[in-house]
Structure 1
Amino acid sequence: MPDQILYSVVARQTVVLAEFSLVQGNANLVAHRILDKLPSEDSRVSYTQERHVFHVLVHHGLAFVCMAEEAFGRRIPFAFLDDIRDKFLSAYGPEAAQYAVAYEYNTEFSSVLHQRMRYFANDPNADAINRVRGGVAEVKNIMVENIEKVLERGERIELLVDKTDHLQSESFAFKRDASRMKKKMWWTNVRWIAVLAVVVLIIIYVVIAIVCSPTFQC
């Protein structure tokens, strides 16, 4: 299973506007605690939590957050955050987001989050595009802190991540796609056989017509 982005959320301060998760657990609760402690000014920061990292992009009062596996690095997660920021603002605009109620855009935008999470996890072009944009140099300046920095003194949150359902859904998707491909190939073969049969019949007809006549009077 490749390293990937497991959870993402778009929020205005602590008001969640849209979110999506590939895993079960309490990633959303940890993210909501982070949202409660974020500065209001534009910033980029990463908070480490054992083997996972919460990457945060604050832009004009809106927070774009994702949780990824630590081995995934920072370059691609922040390219993902830049991407969903642009798509979110293009779809709804900064003004509408300032007055939206909780989860107002979840029905529409959660599917966008899902699609872009899969894209940035699996498509090598995602990293190539980020390199062209100069994202590599920009990531070097991102502050990295332990998640305990945003919690109250003595407080501790244990991040729980269960990938079981995700693995099962991925397995189901693979089997479904394989079945579709097998069926598609079967129909393609049937079509080619039908075309070949028609061609053979035409050739036989032409030969007989030449030897005898179009009315088959030999």
Structure 2
Amino acid sequence: MTITYSCISNGRVILAELALTGGSYQDAVSSVLKLVLLKAEKKTSARIGSYVYHTLLIDGITFLCATDNPLDVILPSAFLDEVSRIYSENPLMFQEPFPPSNATATDFQELLGKCMMKYNQSQGEFMISSLKSQVTDVKNSMSQNIDKMLKREEKLNTLIDRTDNLQVATKAFQKTTTKTSKKMWWKNYKIIIIISSIFVIIIIILLSTNVIPV
């Protein structure tokens, strides 16, 4: 991927621009800047002709670059972030709200050229660095998910243990209740037998003494 054109604009007024290849970008850039003002979104991208135009809108200032690869969005985004950072750190650009002096414009043309060459030449290293960063993010995310799963499993095991303990306690209570019921039944049975025996003995005594006539 190659960054072939870049510019900085205030609204639709271009403050500084630089093209590394021949051709006319003015019509396409004008359309893209109009789109940026209409959408008012921080980041936009549009494909016009052979190029993809990426923009970054910050406080009314639009940072724009054109690339020849429609699939790569990481490197253009990093390029625009760096240009916007350098722009915000340079007080000269804030002295005039519209086209700055030729000297300032020339300075920022040189700045754009350095940044474009930097990202064009080091895009392989940048992509590797970005991929490493993405892999690290994925690893961290997976690690966090595994930790969450382990914690959930630990809680589940604790819940299962509590359930097992409750079942054991329930069975023990049932056994105790059954034994107690049997003991009470046998005790009541003995009492009934004793009372019945006493009653029979009393009847026999009463009959033998003629208290109760035969």
Q: Shorter-chain TM-score: which interval?
A: 0.5 to 0.7
Report if aligned partners of 2:5, 2:67 keep a CA contact under 8 Å in 1: yes
Q: CA deviation at 1:29?
A: 2.7
Q: Name segments (4+ residues, structure 1) moved above 2 Å.
A: 39-42, 92-97, 100-105, 124-134
Alpha carbons of 1:50 and 1:101: their partners in 2 closer, same or farther (altered >3 Å)? closer
Rounded Cα–Cα distance in structure 1 between residues aligned with 2:98 and 2:50: 34
Moved more, 57-66 or 25-34: 25-34
| Backbone CA RMSD of aligned residues | 2.7
5 Å-filtered alignment, 1:24-173, equals 24-39=22-37, 41-70=40-69, 73-92=72-91, 95-96=94-95, 99-101=97-99, 105-123=104-122, 124-127=124-127
Rg larger for: 2
Rounded Cα–Cα distance in structure 1 between residues aligned with 2:132 and 2:95: 31
Higher relative contact order (CA 8 A, sep 6+): 1
TM-score normalised by length of structure 2: 0.53
| Aligned-partner SS, 2:90 | helix
Unaligned runs of 5+ in 2: 138-214
5 Å-filtered alignment, 1:177-216, equals none
- Summarize deviations over 1:7-59 as a string: whole Å, max 9, x none: 00000001111000011111133112221332374510110124320001111
- Summarize deviations over 1:78-118 as a string: whole Å, max 9, x none: 11000100011111377435x23256532101011011101
Q: Which residue of 2 aligns with 1:6?
A: 4
Alpha carbons of 1:15 and 1:119: their partners in 2 closer, same or farther (altered >3 Å)? same
Rounded Cα–Cα distance in structure 2 between residues aligned with 1:26 and 1:103: 24
Percent identity, aligned pairs only, is: 20
Q: What is the aligned counterpart of 1:20 among 18, 21, 24?
A: 18
Aligned residues: 132
- Summarize deviations over 1:137-164 as a string: whole Å, max 9, x none: 9xxxxxxxxxxxxxxxxxxxxxxxxxxx
Alpha carbons of 1:95 and 1:42: their partners in 2 closer, same or farther (altered >3 Å)? farther
Rounded Cα–Cα distance in structure 2 between residues aligned with 1:103 and 1:28: 21
The structure carrying a bigger helix percent of its residues is 2
The structure carrying a bigger strand percent of its residues is 1
Unaligned runs of 5+ in 1: 138-218
Report if aligned partners of 1:10, 1:16 keep a CA contact under 8 Å in 2: yes
Q: Which residue of 2 aligns with 1:158?
A: none
